[in-house]
Amino acid sequence: MKKTKNIILIIILLIVLGTLFYFGFNFFQGITGETIVEIENLHSYTKAFCNDSNYCEDFTLNCQGGEVVSIISTGATIQNPPNWKDPRDKETIEKLC
Cβ–Cβ < 8 Å for 74, 48: no
Per residue, the 3-state secondary structure of the chain, as one string, reads CHHHHHHHHHHHHHHHHHHHHHHHHHHHHCCCCCCCCCCCCEEEEEEEEECCCCEEEEEEEEEECCEEEEEEEEEEEEECCCCCCCCCCHHHHHCCC
72: which strand partners? Answer: 60
pTM here is 0.56
- 83 compared with 26, residue with greater pLDDT: 83
Q: What local confidence, expressed as pLDDT, does residue 25 receive?
A: 58
Mean pLDDT, all residues of the chain: 83
Contacts of 75 (CB under 8 A, 6+ apart): 58
How far is C-alpha 6 from the geometric centre of its chain's CA atoms?
A: 51
- pLDDT tens by residue, 46-91: 999 999 999 999 999 999 988 999 999 999 999 999 999 999 999 9
